[in-house]
């Protein structure tokens, strides 16, 4: 919409990364359907826990691809590469919208999906998520310190906030879920005000 080189680059990055994330999501869904015979989350949870995670290789592969798909939507590290360039190439209003609305929807999906593994204390999935959460909380904050553009700094701040919100999903209690939604309501007002 700006008709600038940075805007073209940002739109191409967002489109290609979104297409890759869609492919990851489709492949993860295919693997889960193969392993469980359903694409409904509650039926997948029943089958996976009833089998006591037998055929874990397929399930873990599906989880890795799902983390890639949701990681793009939530801009978790290392799937965050698109966010600073897209926020910088967009108008302030659009960047503010993109930093909040798609992430809230993505976190609702992540909350529903990862509760399958967190409720049964699956150590493999929890370890992967712990690593992603810690890296997402730390590295973007350090990168934000050296930014000279405000939109890029806010983009890295938004990425770091995604790590904190993912930490609430990782805890997996009712209080953590309530805190997650309160956090996003407060983040909505502060982030829109910032942009």
Q: What is the mean pLDDT of residues 7-18?
A: 82
The mean per-residue pLDDT over the stretch 154-159 comes to: 84
Give the model's confidence band at 111: pLDDT under 50 very low, under 70 low, under 90 confident, else very high.
Answer: confident
What percentage of the chain reaches a pLDDT higher than 90? 5
Q: What is the pLDDT of residue 131?
A: 92
| pLDDT tens string 30-85 | 988 888 888 888 888 788 777 766 667 888 888 889 999 988 888 888 888 788 88
pTM for this structure? Answer: 0.80
Buried-state track 152-161, b at ≥16 Cβ within 10 A, e below 16:
bbbbbbbbbb
First vs last Cα of the chain: how many Å apart? 17
Question: Which distant-in-sequence residues (6+ apart) come within 8 Å of 26 by Cβ?
Answer: none
Mean per-residue pLDDT of the chain: 82
Q: Rounded CA gap, 119 and 26, in Å?
A: 24
């Amino acid at each position: 919409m700006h008709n600038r080189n940075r805007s073209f680059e940002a739109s191409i990055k967002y489109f290609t990364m979104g297409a890759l994330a869609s492919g990851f999501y489709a492949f993860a869904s295919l693997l889960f359907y193969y392993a469980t015979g359903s694409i409904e989350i509650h039926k997948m949870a029943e089958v996976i826990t009833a089998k006591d995670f037998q055929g874990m290789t397929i399930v873990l592969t599906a989880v890795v691809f799902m983390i890639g798909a949701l990681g793009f939507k939530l801009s978790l590290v290392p799937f965050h590469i698109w966010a600073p360039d897209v926020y910088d190439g967009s108008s302030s209003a659009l960047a503010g919208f993109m930093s909040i609305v798609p992430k809230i929807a993505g976190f609702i999906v992540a909350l529903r999906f990862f509760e399958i593994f967190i409720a049964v204390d699956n150590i493999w999935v929890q370890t992967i998520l712990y690593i992603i959460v810690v890296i997402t909380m730390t590295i973007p904050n350090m990168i934000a310190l050296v930014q000279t553009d405000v939109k890029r700094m806010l983009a890295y701040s938004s990425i770091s906030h995604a790590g904190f919100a993912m930490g609430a999903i990782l805890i997996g209690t009712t209080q953590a879920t309530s805190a997650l939604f309160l956090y996003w309501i407060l983040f909505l007002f502060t982030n829109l005000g910032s942009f």
